[in-house]
Chain A
């Protein structure tokens, strides 16, 4: 079976986690795509850690406001009912358990719920930004990642080798081949995405995986 990276599948599946009214913080990059796939009938409130609630889509061309950007510096809008605040309030909301879910990108994620995504020593050191606070504070931490890196190596590991962003904080990992829960020091496979199979995932993933008794195939195509 041939693997094809597919960010859309990851975003689509993660978007189904949310309940109506959830407060959600989406990381920059792949996690941002999740906002495009929230199911009809579910309204989520997006928190932007640079200081507001009610993050809306990009403005129409010509309507960009330099004072209204997301945490990646991209132009955005604010929804009716939104609110601006300073960085201490922003992180009080995050750390204080007022954010229901966060979705973050991955360099490495392991079966103990450790996440590494801010530093490759000596090579690339972007910094953690708000990610460490988000993983500690959000009620549900979702790691969003393609299942394999460009060299074909599994992004899901037994133990992270890179410096950690979060120690044991990840609840779910969603890749483009399946949906995993982190439970008791192991990945639990809950769903495998068409056309991949359980056997394929077990064989190709460099980590311990328990197949959930209710594990099922899901078609996100």
Chain B
């Protein structure tokens, strides 16, 4: 197995260019890569498209601002593709005032569109969203008497992911509910960067428990937890 470069978060985010589609793992921040997000905020790259489950927490009253919400607050996205923005008042404000295009996608559809992009599929047929606003502008197919929406694959340029443990080849295991979208996004982007709490030698991860196989991963970053 070939070892993948272990680089600093600041170097890793240099791979993200203006206009890119960036996928960020995590669910309300659980499973998001903190050092990579901070480095991207520092770098300040704009006009990005975000693909994420949600936009984490941002509350005007309490001042809370976590995970990808930091990038939303810096207005680094021109487009945000997520399933939920209820915990981020700034995303809602940017949407309502027309500053940022926000596309709301049912969570299961979002997962499958990302998976499809990484699996060589043009898209998926799902019953989710039939008869709702989600159907608008989409092809509806009748399969054996039931209606399905054609939901197209959703690829990205760069994935910013978080793992509990990686080996130097890039095999990954995750931590409990922090897995969520990370393994799917690892399939769907040209460049996959993983922030790992622990990086071990090749051969030290049991192949039987690897969740994301190494060939999907391009760069490793040590999380601050590891020091």
Chain A, residue nearest B26 (CB): A50
Chain A nearest CB from B132 CB (Å) reads 5
Partner of A127, one of B82, B129, B182: B82
B83 contact from A51, A67, A94, A129, Cβ within 8 A:
A129
Number of interface residues of A (CB under 8 A): 44
* Chain A interface mostly: loop
Is B131's CB within 8 Å of the partner chain A? yes
Check B130–A133 contact: CB distance below 8 A.
no
A127 touches B85 (CB 8 A): yes
Once the chains are docked, how many angstroms separate the CA of A95 from the CA of B106? Answer: 12
In the complex, which of the residues B57, B95, B127, B177 contacts A52, with contact meaning CB atoms closer than 8 Å?
A: B177
From residue B66, how far is it (CB to closest CB) to chain A in Å? 10
CB distance from A67 to the nearest CB of B (A): 4
Q: Contact between A73 and B108 (Cβ–Cβ < 8 Å)?
A: no
**A132-B132 CB under 8 A given contacts A125-B96, A127-B104:** yes
Contact B106 A73 (CB under 8 A): no
Residues on the B chain within 8 Å of A66, using CB:
30, 178
**Chain A positions 44 through 64: 1 when the CB is less than 8 Å from some CB of chain B, otherwise 0:** 000011111000000000000
Q: Count B interface residues, CB 8 Å.
A: 48
- Whether the pair B176, A86 counts as a contact (CB closer than 8 A) is no
The answer to whether B179 has its CB under 8 Å from any CB of chain A is yes
Q: Give chain A nearest CB distance to B131 CB in angstroms.
A: 3
Task: Say if the beta carbon of A17 comes within 8 Å of chain B.
Answer: no
Q: Which of A77-133 contact B (CB under 8 A)?
A: 78, 84-88, 90-91, 94-95, 118-119, 122, 124-133
Instruction: Say yes or no for B47: interface residue by CB 8 A criterion.
Output: no
Q: What chain B residues lie within 8 Å of A68 (beta carbons)? A: 176-177
- Report yes or no: A48 in contact with B177, Cβ–Cβ below 8 A: yes
Segment 59-110 of B: residues with Cβ below 8 Å from A? 82-87, 92, 95-96, 104, 106-110
Q: Which of B84, B127, B180, B211 contacts A87 (CB 8 A)?
A: B180
Residues of A with C-beta under 8 A to B181: 86-87
Q: Are B86 and A126 neighbours in the complex by a CB distance under 8 Å?
A: yes
Shortest CB distance B223–A (Å): 13
Top 7 nearest A-B pairs (CB, nearest first) are A126-B86, A167-B131, A91-B108, A133-B108, A127-B84, A132-B106, A87-B111
Could you write out 12 A-B pairs with CB less than 8 Å apart? A50-B27, A84-B177, A86-B181, A86-B184, A90-B180, A91-B108, A91-B111, A124-B92, A125-B92, A133-B128, A163-B132, A167-B130
